[in-house]
């Protein structure tokens, strides 16, 4: 059975060209990038090349890029790094639909007497810019708003947020984990001070990410050790992962426009086919600008997890909008934030396409998904009473 993978927002396979670029740094070029001998200097040169490649993807300067273990570390460093660099009653603004890496960091800040405002979103998952302006205070030090939502694909108006932040002289951070390498990113045009990205979301390995830190940004370091990466991120560099991230960024920069157009076309085919073949379903964030690969669909009367399992048994991998907490399935905070009831939030499925998703896989999905939904609805004690 050919298995269909429609969960690229969760993770992606390492691109063969990325793996090829990494392999020498596991064996012949294994040096420590801080060593001054030839082995070390070859590793150092590879790290600096990767820094240039990542910088080019987002129109930054190479010296403004530090490498991290992934999106969570980058988000935490940006948020704690700014908020804890201020000694007097700082205030942070974020949204109710951020990834847990941002939300939990902000909640931890609140325990340290940092004030945090959580902006609500509309039914499409977008913030209101007037509410952002009203949330600003004299003591506001940071606005952190994700670029593209991991569940919905909804894209926030970063250019406008950047202007508001610049006018207020407030640092601006975005979690770009789900947008990097999918849609164009320009830290200068968006007036960003900090940007987080993660390699495994665009065909690099897990465990490697980056944080853009605009030159002059006041940022407290979180880790203490050697003088690696301008002192921001001490520790021996993960040379193999960094090389992989750099190569993935280079590939994305070349193919982004073509990949986005193809994925958008396939996603639209998938959505239109599902909406036409499955009664009583609804596309979430239908009116928002979205990443070209993401669909979040509500199937009333079902449990999303049951549908995911049923689809997996038929060879199709996707995910729900729910997360497991303390052994119980809680409704997604993103979906309840856009106004869905707990039962509807649990009845959603996220389908996320990738660079290598094919037309034939989409056509197969359009046979598998309606059949699975129909079967589960026949067994559902709630669907027939709706």
318 is catalytic: no
Residue 272 corresponds to which tokens in the numbers above? Answer: 């239109």
Separation of alpha carbons 296 and 261, rounded Å: 19
CB 295 within 8 A of CB 267: yes
CB 94 within 8 A of CB 170: no
Q: Which residues pair with 212 in a beta bridge?
A: 65, 195
Residue 327 corresponds to which tokens in the numbers above? Answer: 């052994």
CB 226 within 8 A of CB 34: yes
Separation of alpha carbons 311 and 273, rounded Å: 16
Q: Residues near 314 by Cβ (< 8 Å), separated by ≥ 6?
A: 368, 371, 372
- List the catalytic residue out of 106, 281, 318, 324: 324
Question: CA dihedral in degrees (25, 44, 80, 179; nearest 10)?
Answer: -60
CB 350 within 8 A of CB 133: no
Rounded alpha-carbon distances, angstroms, from residue 17 to 57, 184, 336:
17, 22, 40
Q: Which residues pair with 171 in a beta bridge?
A: 142
Residues with catalytic roles: 324
């Amino acid at each position: 059975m050919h298995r269909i993978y429609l969960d690229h927002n969760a993770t992606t396979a390492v691109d063969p060209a990325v793996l090829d670029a990494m392999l020498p740094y596991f064996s012949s070029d294994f040096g420590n990038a801080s060593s001054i001998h030839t082995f070390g200097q070859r590793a150092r040169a590879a790290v600096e090349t990767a820094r240039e490649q990542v910088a080019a993807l987002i129109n930054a300067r190479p010296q403004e890029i530090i490498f991290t273990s992934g999106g969570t570390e980058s988000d935490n460093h940006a948020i704690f790094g700014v908020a804890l660099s201020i000694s007097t009653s700082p205030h942070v603004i974020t949204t109710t639909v951020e990834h847990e890496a941002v939300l939990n960091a902000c909640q931890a800040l609140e325990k340290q007497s940092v004030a945090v405002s959580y902006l609500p979103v509309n039914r499409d998952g977008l913030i209101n810019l007037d509410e952002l302006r009203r949330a600003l205070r004299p003591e506001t030090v940071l606005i952190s708003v994700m670029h593209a939502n991991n569940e919905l694909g909804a894209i926030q108006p970063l250019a406008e947020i950047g202007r508001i932040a610049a006018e207020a002289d407030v640092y601006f951070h975005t979690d770009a984990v789900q947008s990097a390498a999918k849609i164009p990113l320009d830290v200068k045009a968006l007036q960003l001070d900090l940007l987080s990205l993660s390699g495994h979301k665009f065909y690099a390995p897990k465990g490697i990410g980056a944080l853009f830190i605009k030159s002059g940004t006041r940022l407290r370091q979180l880790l203490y050790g050697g003088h690696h990466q301008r002192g921001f991120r001490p520790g021996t560099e993960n040379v193999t992962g960094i090389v992989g991230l750099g190569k993935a960024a280079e590939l994305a920069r070349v193919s982004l426009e073509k990949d986005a157009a193809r994925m958008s076309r396939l996603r639209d085919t998938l959505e239109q086919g599902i909406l036409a073949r499955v009664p009583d379903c609804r596309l979430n964030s239908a009116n928002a600008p979205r990443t070209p690969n993401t669909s979040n669909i509500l199937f009333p009367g079902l449990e999303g997890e049951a549908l995911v399992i049923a689809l997996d048994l038929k060879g199709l991998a996707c995910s729900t909008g729910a997360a497991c907490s303390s052994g119980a399935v809680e409704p997604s905070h993103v979906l309840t934030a856009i106004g869905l009831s707990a039962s509807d939030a649990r009845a959603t499925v996220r389908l996320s396409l990738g660079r290598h998703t094919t037309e034939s896989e989409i056509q197969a999905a359009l046979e598998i998904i309606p059949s699975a939904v129909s079967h589960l609805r026949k067994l559902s004690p709630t669907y027939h009473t709706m």
